[in-house]
A and B are shown apart, each in its own frame.
Chain A
Amino acid sequence: MTEAALAPVDLPDALALELLRDMVRIRRFEERCADLYGQQKIRGFLHLYIGEEAVAVGAIHALAPDEAVVATYREHGHALARGVPAGAVMAEMYGKREGCSRGRGGSMHLFDAARRLYGGNAIVGGGLPLAVGLALADKLQRRQRATAVFFGEGAVAEGAFHESMNLASLWRLPVAFFCENNFYAMGTALARSHAQPDLCVQAGAYALPAVRADGMDVVAVHAAARRALEHVRAGNGPYFVEFQTYRYRAHSMFDPDLYRDKAEIESWKRRGPIHNLTNRLKAEGRLTEEAFLALDAEALREVDEAVAFAEAGTWEPVEALASDLHTPAAA
């Protein structure tokens, strides 16, 4: 156990357990996704978030229900943390009409209008301008709320990132830029793709606060996200947080993962977010092993139900292929 892992969990019991529960839910859900991919129940690209759960969970729990989330193609965790029912997410992976995008999106394009989840974007950096626009709409309509946009460190190399940061800062828009730095853009390491590998230095060039947080520690993530969102909601303009994190699995199910050192992966696993929080809560006498096992069993049950829901789902009729290209005229 590292020294950081012994830092106090400065959160009320209910919230601490909620964060733990969501991380376990996501972990169990995605482990099952990997199995289902092997069984060819899930096809296409599948990008697992395993190892990075603390970022989505800690940050999204700092958002108000009416605040927008714009995510990437590695967004199962964000959807689940946002409260999209696991069954609707799993059914989407199956390509069923009961899926949260009616089977049009799949793993990379999870949407939920009611929960203000604006995808699921598989163009790296593609969600950033959209988030700026959502925030612009809020500002123009005098709504005091934030938009949170998640993206990887790979997106920081895109023009979309720099244009969006400049625009958001210039217009003082309420955007929280949450960078999930897992150190690899597919197989290319951060140091091999950025002349300035310090992402906060890059972001800070746009005249906004840019801070780093431990993305393996959900308590630290939550605290950093809360500070960012308070700043943003108060009308001070955008805020950038770099969450340093790590994905344990390969980029996608097609990736043989030849570009990383196994020892590096193991060293990050020792800092695992679930592990990290569980040990601290136990050390503080706020969680028993029995309670953890019960929580885990509950997560597994939820996944079983999600799979059953997806299995029982139906196929969109082919006649509906071209539906939803345009909004139907109001009756």
Chain B
Amino acid sequence: MRMTYREAMRAALREALLADPRVFLMGEDVGKYGGTYAVSKGFFDEFGPERIRDTPLSELAFVGAGIGAALGGMRPIVEVMTVNFSLLALDQIVNTAALYRHMSGGQFSVPLVIRMATGAGRQLAAQHSHSFENWYAHIPGITVLAPATIDDARGMLAPALADPDPVVIFEHALLYNLEGELSEAWRDADLRSAKVLRSGGDATIVAYGGTVWKALEAAATLAADGIEAEVIDLRVLRPLDDATIVASVRKTRRAVIVDEGWRSGSLAAEIMARIVEQAFYELDAPLARVCSEEVPIPYAKHLEEAALPQPAKIVAAVRALARGG
């Protein structure tokens, strides 16, 4: 069945709301407005204002209320409009949700799902375009997801809700209109493994979220030149699936990490470190990465494009490795 990423996410949410009376959706404009990205359009009428709760612009309080509601026996899904705004709620996520179980000596679980849009590409400028996935992936006690495909948009929510501990889901805003085929494999979505989306023996490209499609485009370009790149979709940013990454690098002996976050302290840096720790002697070339330029994401289209990882940059990085080998 063909559908958009938005429709896949919407189907997953609807299924969850129908399946479990403890599930409710809460966030800014999720109800009457229909969701900032129209993901929850129609839910307000279908499920009512008690389960599709419009909140005031109080990220700290409604994310914290999600934690409390989870502790109180509900299964809240809290939507934060963008990752930039989530910084207003970071205290509750990091200082309460993530550590609550450990700090209480294992007495409490917080079965909370937080969804938020992330990423650039729509000329929304510096306060609506950043990628802070690595900030969240740094925190023990939470699981961090980045569904990039139609299958994962459809399939990752159910296991996230079944998880007894906090799960943060990043939805790249450029993906909502992505259209594709929903495969039967969506039912097998797990919260642990990375996935090889394209096989190849010459280089590994690791990507997540919105950059997955740029990596696939780059791989197609490279294939026309006879370079077969393997593309890995991380899917889960915490815990990282080292095994899949390292197995691929052992085969290809070269790797480029693509990350829409800034280079310094990036998730890309973490992945490179793990490859070096586990497969240093099997590398035929230095590791490379394509990250966002270290500037706030600018408004002007040509500047925004220049700031972000692009297929051409990924192609150039892989070619440089191939030459270096």
| Interface residues of A, Cβ cutoff 8 Å to B | 68, 99-105, 109, 111-113, 118-119, 121, 123, 126, 128-138, 140-141, 159-160, 163-164, 166-167, 170, 322-327
**A129, A137, A166 — which one has the most chain B CB atoms within 10 A of its CB?**
A129
* B16 is an interface residue with CB less than 8 A from chain A: no
Q: Do the beta carbons of B69 and A104 come within 8 Å of each other?
A: no
Q: Do the beta carbons of A324 and B67 come within 8 Å of each other?
A: no
Contacts of B63 in A (CB 8 A): 129
Q: Which of B50, B74, B101, B105 contacts A100 (CB 8 A)?
A: B105
| Interface residues of B, Cβ cutoff 8 Å to A | 24, 50, 55-56, 58, 60-74, 76, 91-92, 95-96, 100-109, 140-141, 164-165
Q: Which of B64, B74, B105, B164 contacts A132 (CB 8 A)?
A: B64
Q: Do the beta carbons of B103 and A134 come within 8 Å of each other?
A: no
Q: Do the beta carbons of B106 and A134 come within 8 Å of each other?
A: no
- Cα separation A105 to B66 with both chains bound (whole Å): 22
Q: Do A109 and B103 form a contact, CB below 8 Å, given A123-B91, A140-B50, A325-B141?
A: yes
Q: Do the beta carbons of A129 and B105 come within 8 Å of each other?
A: no
B218 nearest CB across to chain A (Å): 35
A316 nearest CB across to chain B (Å): 9
Q: Do the beta carbons of A163 and B60 come within 8 Å of each other?
A: yes
- Cα separation A121 to B97 with both chains bound (whole Å): 12
Total inter-chain residue pairs, C-beta < 8 Å = 144
Question: Nearest CB to that of B143 among chain A residues?
Answer: A326
Contacts of A128 in B (CB 8 A): 61, 64
Q: Do the beta carbons of B68 and A132 come within 8 Å of each other?
A: yes
Q: Do the beta carbons of B103 and A123 come within 8 Å of each other?
A: no
- Cα separation A133 to B66 with both chains bound (whole Å): 6
- Cα separation A140 to B269 with both chains bound (whole Å): 44
- Cα separation A111 to B102 with both chains bound (whole Å): 11
Q: Do A130 and B67 form a contact, CB below 8 Å, given A101-B104, A104-B104, A160-B61?
A: yes
Contacts of A119 in B (CB 8 A): 100, 103-104
Q: Do the beta carbons of B73 and A111 come within 8 Å of each other?
A: no
- Cα separation A102 to B102 with both chains bound (whole Å): 9
Q: Do the beta carbons of B103 and A104 come within 8 Å of each other?
A: yes
Q: Do A129 and B60 form a contact, CB below 8 Å, given A136-B69, A140-B74?
A: yes
B127 nearest CB across to chain A (Å): 18
Q: Do the beta carbons of A111 and B96 come within 8 Å of each other?
A: no
**B66, B71, B165 — which one has the most chain A CB atoms within 10 A of its CB?**
B71
Q: Do the beta carbons of B72 and A136 come within 8 Å of each other?
A: yes
Q: Do the beta carbons of A323 and B72 come within 8 Å of each other?
A: no
- Cα separation A141 to B103 with both chains bound (whole Å): 27
Q: Do the beta carbons of A327 and B64 come within 8 Å of each other?
A: no
Question: Nearest CB to that of A136 among chain B residues?
Answer: B69
A212 nearest CB across to chain B (Å): 24
Contacts of A109 in B (CB 8 A): 103-104
Q: Do the beta carbons of B61 and A325 come within 8 Å of each other?
A: no
Question: Nearest CB to that of B26 among chain A residues?
Answer: A136
Q: Do A167 and B104 form a contact, CB below 8 Å, given A118-B71, A123-B96, A136-B72?
A: no
Q: Do the beta carbons of A167 and B101 come within 8 Å of each other?
A: no
Contacts of A100 in B (CB 8 A): 105
Q: Can you list 13 A-B contacts with CB-CB less than 8 angstroms, sorted by A residue number?
A: A111-B105, A111-B108, A126-B64, A126-B95, A133-B65, A133-B68, A133-B71, A140-B24, A166-B56, A322-B140, A327-B101, A327-B109, A327-B164
Question: Nearest CB to that of B51 among chain A residues?
Answer: A140
Q: Do the beta carbons of B65 and A326 come within 8 Å of each other?
A: no
Question: Nearest CB to that of A165 among chain B residues?
Answer: B61
- Cα separation A13 to B68 with both chains bound (whole Å): 37
- Cα separation A167 to B107 with both chains bound (whole Å): 27
Q: Do the beta carbons of A167 and B65 come within 8 Å of each other?
A: yes
Q: Do the beta carbons of A137 and B72 come within 8 Å of each other?
A: yes
Q: Do A129 and B74 form a contact, CB below 8 Å, given A166-B58, A327-B165?
A: no
Contacts of B103 in A (CB 8 A): 101, 104-105, 109, 111, 119
